[in-house]
Chain A
């Protein structure tokens, strides 16, 4: 049976036109599919990674699913004909696994990345954040250097063809932009998960006590490290003096979101997010200079709705790139395949560390600022519906 071929898409496509625009001169693989093992079988694995990998059959093949809940691991693995287990060691010991994806809770990421590198795998994908502090990031970097195993952090927007098109065309904008904005408005994850798959398990939703400052601090930490972090690597690309970041204001948005104002000596940065019950997603990134601006409109996660659209504006003139036929998650997996085959150079470890320390610095300062704001709010707002922290 001939091995099916997956080809790189090199210009915008609609789903119906997909087959007509593939570039037949650039096959992404010529060998048997690379084996994928996934640590953690929660909604992200079920609704994001497995559907993305289903579009790359012939290039990548899921061979092992691990979850601490053996029933979940077995059920998810059965969907893709993979082996299952409930321990990391079992998955890392599976010789059919070439690439390890780490989709477990944040606190396990660092140790699992290091273990995967030491297990002699060909590449590692770690969901963001790949570490919870600079010390962990340093250890990961050292192990990656020592073992030569490339690591990709799942900042999916940095692999989105719309973003990559922007990079190729932004000229001097990263040096001249003075204002950067990231705005994320999303419905609850379940809305898009249900478009992508049939979810087996979902984390239980709680009822937060907005009057408790510790709840607010935890939600702001989660907002930055779980949501804003998607775009913070993009923000950093436009912030050469990112080490001098300062939080001017941080306010919690109910039920989950934030309004954060940041500044460096040369940049102003505004982060907005609101997750509520709307059906209408808006996910944009903007970099604005005196005479040029870039706006990128991303598609929602989970759904396979193609890439972002990047629009440059210069006065009354606009130039748009995209949409292209796949999103950043698929872009991640394509890059991982190339890294595992040695046909592509890994990203510099320092860039990953800088992205992480940038995010951590913002998260820490945001939590402090939001807690202070919480203390200043008028007493009558403590239990008000829809009110801020």
Chain B
């Protein structure tokens, strides 16, 4: 049986998004488009600067869906309008924010639920993202912010406290005014990933998200007077989770709202880069 949807990917998308591995794990749904076989159903592009322009071209070329691997913050207003007009599905594959432990695609428990149920009693949120030396701190900051916004919702008083060769520090306020700090550290001493810890009056919530290069599970914990609850581990990378979401939209004929959420990230990021 052939796959339901053909896929083509740019070299950049392949590198940033592990496309071959992800679609190989969904073989009944996705398959590589044969050369000269016309327009593939799905095109995967890399989210480097200027990716929204590339996505606009993909819409004009007639692709039914676009998957963007690791998109950097960029104004998506024109892209969203074009996607709406053409009925094109645009799914964003974030390095960490697309990890299925953050936001469940089904009815399972997830980090967003654990965090949001604790935010009202928040005392402090502390987060650290790590990436290899030589990484672009601005890209890291965008990836970090995307993961944070998944579990916290909009943030107030966002500011860049420090930015340098070894990392950055961002400060903000949670809805109840409690402090949020997000630190980026460039090091090869530890696996890349992001750690988010919310402390409340009697416990809190935490999530540790690994890089999507393998299906390492994120670790989500909800802590309260009852003890420490480890949410079920999901051995699925952020990449595969993004492709699986795309599958669900394509098969159901629905359209994702990724671009709307991404606009919020872009707004927050712009606030930081202006400070």
Contacting residues, chain A, for B139 (C-beta < 8 A) = none
Contacting residues, chain B, for A179 (C-beta < 8 A) = 166-167, 183, 185, 187
B7 interfacial contact with A, CB 8 Å: no
Contacts A270-B181, A274-B123, A386-B121 known; A290 to B189 CB distance under 8 Å?
A: yes
Give Cα distance in the complex from A38 to B190, angstroms: 44
A242-294 interface (Cβ within 8 A of B): 248-249, 251, 253-255, 257, 259, 261, 263, 268, 270, 272, 274, 276-280, 288-293
Give Cα distance in the complex from A178 to B121, angstroms: 33
Contact residue among A185, A251, A291 (Cβ-Cβ distance under 8 Å from B188):
A291
Q: Which residue of chain A lies nearest to B130 when distances are taken between CB atoms in the complex?
A: A288
Give Cα distance in the complex from A85 to B176, angstroms: 50
- Size band of the interface chain A makes with B: 35 or more
Contacts A278-B203, A280-B223, A290-B188 known; A259 to B126 CB distance under 8 Å?
A: yes
Contacting residues, chain A, for B186 (C-beta < 8 A) = 290
B53 interfacial contact with A, CB 8 Å: no
Asked if B123 and A257 make an inter-chain contact with CB atoms under 8 angstroms apart, the answer reads yes
Interface segment, A74-82, A311-319, A343-351? A311-319
Give Cα distance in the complex from A299 to B124, angstroms: 22
Interface segment, A112-120, A164-172, A218-226, A376-384? A376-384
The smallest beta-carbon distance between A107 and chain B, in angstroms, is: 29
Asked if B126 and A183 make an inter-chain contact with CB atoms under 8 angstroms apart, the answer reads yes
Contacting residues, chain A, for B225 (C-beta < 8 A) = 279
* B interface residues, tally (CB under 8 Å): 40
The smallest beta-carbon distance between B27 and chain A, in angstroms, is: 30
Of B124, B167, B173, chain A has the most CB atoms within 10 Å of the CB of B124
Contacting residues, chain A, for B187 (C-beta < 8 A) = 179, 288-291, 293
Give Cα distance in the complex from A272 to B120, angstroms: 20
Asked if A268 and B164 make an inter-chain contact with CB atoms under 8 angstroms apart, the answer reads yes
B133 interfacial contact with A, CB 8 Å: yes
B239-257 interface (Cβ within 8 A of A): none
Give Cα distance in the complex from A277 to B200, angstroms: 9
A387 interfacial contact with B, CB 8 Å: yes
